[in-house]
């Protein structure tokens, strides 16, 4: 500390030239003597008892007191009337330092007297430094540095640092800090107030920081955060969670090893109502030719940054009547660059008009220190934990992630017909585009919303391979399935999950529908060629859905009504057109004897109709027993129409169809007919 004399250094903030020493052995008494002009004061006062305790007093001569105040130049001898004063009292030792009228002390801050000779109470050492705006003060913290904590959080060892600054006569909270972090320096101007809280059982006898004089920092403060290796730090704006001071500037400087990469995520923020200027964050990023990089708080923040960088928060002039609150809590994550960060992938949406693609975490759980983050980068620095690509542009993306299985892709595309004369009989292939399949991240959902003019057109879906409906009796076990659900606002109609390898040749729906391809295993990438649905716009029909089914000769085909778990929606009608080969006989079987539906209005019924003879069997689903297993020699229809059921008494049906060769059925009948 060149230019400082020894006298100034010795007069340093924490130097209590105290004669605080115990009286002769056998006497439980203490003496604190404060030198005149030292600027030091001591206050012993009642603490907050955690349990009901007996009354305890401070004994001064023969007087019993509940509070003891000692000022500079005074000396006091005292003792306690109980053997556990730490449960009753706390001690505050404050050093006021005036740098307005003389030189400001600099150097390592001492705790004096030593905590070993003070009463064993919860202790708070406070250094209150007042200085001109032109004088900068730098607090430098020794290892293991500091970690900022939010409101209500406590430090594991009970040692807490509260740091505040000044704006004219207003005190501004810079933050509360524990040990074992990355914060190495805090630079302020116009003074600083530092409070070190030590629990009564802690024998620490060093402050852990020093103060250095600097030139003005020309802002509220600068916080330096040093990363020695991989890790993360959570930091907050001044006064958090209350409002950041109006039209102020606060900067964080991050020291990052050159071989690592840093990414910034905003955890919580709000903005105020500005009348002049604009609230923003500014970055000085290594290698950028456009420094400072300016972002709004709601923008995606930079990631994949190599080396040191700065982040600054700039406030604005606020509306006096309705100022709002500017506040920010953010995380900086430092990790090793992954192999994928060196690869760039092109996602070409330039020819798309109604499609979006989002890459996001499988889980919303925040990253921890032990789990590196997963980021998607739209350019070298614009990285975030999730990224949505919009239509009409070609996008280049890369990944900063140690394990890409932690991410997945969700995409949505609208196919809309607004003029039935143009769309009639047109067809579209529902296939996942190749530019999605080439990405190193698993696809989760790809949804097509198929929209048609009401009462003008309907939709027909034809799979490349026949579909199986997912049921409890025969579950889909493929790497992907299709979820079919109504896309009509307010209509809760889910036709179900369907996968390849079944008997359903076509699905027709009356109006708007959402078709979602959902993957269940990474092997979908190898099986992607099996996914292909063709949708056609067809003349309008009245039923909500019609399934065309050709049962497999070797296995049963299980079919169920839509919304199986919640019941068929009110007034919904669904049909199955079941083909029976000429050399086969179909056996139709229902799972239950009764449906259990109770109608509030209307009727629930089922019609089974032979297609050759047009003979109909009509069953009341509310009143009648369902038919027993029956043979059907020709193709037939099954239609189920619902009423408006009473809550809790919904309609759901499961049935299956199996084929048997006609010759086998004849033989069985002949055998039964013999005497």
What b/e readout covers 264-283, taking b as 16+ CB neighbours within 10 angstroms? Answer: bbbeebebbebeeeebbbbb
Count of other CB atoms within 10 angstroms of residue 61? 7
**Distance from C-alpha of 671 to C-alpha of 669, rounded to nearest angstrom:** 5
pLDDT reading at 477 higher than 70 = yes
| Tens-place pLDDT, residues 537-592 | 999 999 999 999 999 988 999 999 999 888 999 999 999 999 999 999 999 999 99
pLDDT reading at 608 higher than 70 = yes
| Tens-place pLDDT, residues 260-309 | 889 899 999 999 999 999 999 999 987 677 788 899 999 888 888 888 99
pLDDT reading at 668 higher than 80 = no
| Tens-place pLDDT, residues 451-471 | 999 889 999 999 999 999 999
Q: Is the dihedral of CA 285, 288, 292, 295 positive or negative?
A: negative
pLDDT computed for residue 159 by the predictor: 96
pLDDT computed for residue 339 by the predictor: 59
pLDDT computed for residue 369 by the predictor: 38
| Tens-place pLDDT, residues 332-344 | 999 887 655 568 8
pLDDT reading at 103 higher than 80 = no
Who wins on pLDDT, 187 or 7?
A: 187
pLDDT reading at 675 higher than 70 = no
pLDDT computed for residue 38 by the predictor: 83
Q: Token match 């500017």: residue? A: 326
| Tens-place pLDDT, residues 489-525 | 988 899 999 999 999 999 999 999 999 999 998 888 8
Count of other CB atoms within 10 angstroms of residue 180? 12
Who wins on pLDDT, 429 or 35?
A: 429
- By the 10 Å C-beta count (0-12 exposed, 13-18 middle, 19+ buried), 17 is classed as middle
pLDDT computed for residue 340 by the predictor: 57
Find the mean pLDDT for residues 241-261: 94
For residue 367, what pLDDT band results from cuts at 50, 70 and 90? very low
Q: Is the dihedral of CA 495, 499, 500, 503 positive or negative?
A: negative
Q: Could you tell me what percent of the chain has a pLDDT over 90?
A: 63
Find the mean pLDDT for residues 232-240: 97
For residue 12, what pLDDT band results from cuts at 50, 70 and 90? very low
CB 335 within 8 A of CB 373: yes
CB 183 within 8 A of CB 141: yes
Taking phi over 0 as left and psi of -120 to 50 as alpha, with beta for the rest, 295 belongs to: beta
Quickly list DSSP for 523-563: THHHHGGG--EEEEEEE--SSSEEEEE---SSS-EEEE-SS
pLDDT computed for residue 133 by the predictor: 85
Find the mean pLDDT for residues 159-171: 93
**Distance from C-alpha of 235 to C-alpha of 311, rounded to nearest angstrom:** 11
CA dihedral 492, 497, 503, 508 (to 10 degrees): 30
Taking phi over 0 as left and psi of -120 to 50 as alpha, with beta for the rest, 593 belongs to: alpha
């Amino acid at each position: 500390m060149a230019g400082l004399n020894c006298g100034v250094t010795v007069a340093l903030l924490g130097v209590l030239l105290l004669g605080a020493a115990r009286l002769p052995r056998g006497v439980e008494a203490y003496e604190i003597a404060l030198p005149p002009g030292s600027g030091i004061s001591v206050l012993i006062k009642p603490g907050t008892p955690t349990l009901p305790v007996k009354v305890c007093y401070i004994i001064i001569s023969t007087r019993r007191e509940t509070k003891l105040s000692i000022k500079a130049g005074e000396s006091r001898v005292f003792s306690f009337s109980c053997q556990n004063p730490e449960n009753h009292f706390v001690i505050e030792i404050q050093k006021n330092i005036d740098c307005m009228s003389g030189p400001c002390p600099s150097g390592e801050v001492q705790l004096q007297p030593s905590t070993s000779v003070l009463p064993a109470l919860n202790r708070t050492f406070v250094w209150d430094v007042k200085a001109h705006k032109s004088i900068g003060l730098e607090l430098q913290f020794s290892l293991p540095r500091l970690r900022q904590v939010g409101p209500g959080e406590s430090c594991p060892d009970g040692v807490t640092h509260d740091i505040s600054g000044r704006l004219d006569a207003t005190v501004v909270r810079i933050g509360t800090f524990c040990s074992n972090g990355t914060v190495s320096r805090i630079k302020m101007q116009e003074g600083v107030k530092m409070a070190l809280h030590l629990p009564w059982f802690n024998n620490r006898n060093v402050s852990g920081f020093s103060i250095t004089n600097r030139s003005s920092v020309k802002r509220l403060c600068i916080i330096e955060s040093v990363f020695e290796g991989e890790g993360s730090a959570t930091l907050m704006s001044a006064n958090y969670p209350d409002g950041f001071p109006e039209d102020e500037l606060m900067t964080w400087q991050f020291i990052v090893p050159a071989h690592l990469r840093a990414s910034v995520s905003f955890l919580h923020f709000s903005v105020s109502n500005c009348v002049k200027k604009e609230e923003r964050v500014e970055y000085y990023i290594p290698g950028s030719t456009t420094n400072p990089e300016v972002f709004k708080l709601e923008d995606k923040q930079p990631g994949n940054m190599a080396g040191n960088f700065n982040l600054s928060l700039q406030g604005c002039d606020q509306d006096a009547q309705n100022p709002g609150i500017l506040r920010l809590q953010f995380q900086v994550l430092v990790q090793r660059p992954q192999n994928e960060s060196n690869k760039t992938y092109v996602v070409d949406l330039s020819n798309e008009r109604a499609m979006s693609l989002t890459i996001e975490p499988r889980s919303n759980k925040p990253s921890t220190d032990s789990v590196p983050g997963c980021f998607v980068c739209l350019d070298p620095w614009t990285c975030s934990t999730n990224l949505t690509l919009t239509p009409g542009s070609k996008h280049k993306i890369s990944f900063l992630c140690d394990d890409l299985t932690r991410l997945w892709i969700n995409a949505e595309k609208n196919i809309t017909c607004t003029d039935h004369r143009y769309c009639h009989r047109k067809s579209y292939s529902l296939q996942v585009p190749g530019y999605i399949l080439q990405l190193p991240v698993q696809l989760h959902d790809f949804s097509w919303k198929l929209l048609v003019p009401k009462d003008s057109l309907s939709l027909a879906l034809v799979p490349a391979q026949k579909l199986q409906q997912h049921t409890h009796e025969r579950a889909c076990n493929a790497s992907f399935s299709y979820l079919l659900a109504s896309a009509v606002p307010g209509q809760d109609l889910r036709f179900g999950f369907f996968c390849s390898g079944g008997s359903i040749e076509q699905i027709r729906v009356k109006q708007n529908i959402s078709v979602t391809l959902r993957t269940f295993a990474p092997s979908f990438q190898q099986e992607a060629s099996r996914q292909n649905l063709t949708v056609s716009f067809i003349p309008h029909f009245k039923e909500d859905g019609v399934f065309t089914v050709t049962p497999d000769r070797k296995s049963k085909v299980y079919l169920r009504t839509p919304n199986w778990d919640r019941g068929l929606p009110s007034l919904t009608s669904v049909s199955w057109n079941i083909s029976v080969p000429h050399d086969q006989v179909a056996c139709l079987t229902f799972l239950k004897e009764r449906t259990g539906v109770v109608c509030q209005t209307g009727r629930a019924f089922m019609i089974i109709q032979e297609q050759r003879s047009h003979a109909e069997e009509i069953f009341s689903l509310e009143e009648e027993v369902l038919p027993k297993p029956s043979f059907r020699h020709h193709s037939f229809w099954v239609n189920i129409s619902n009423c408006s059921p009473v809550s809790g008494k919904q309609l759901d049906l499961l049935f299956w169809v199996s084929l048997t060769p006609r010759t086998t059925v004849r033989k069985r009948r002949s055998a039964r007919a013999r005497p």
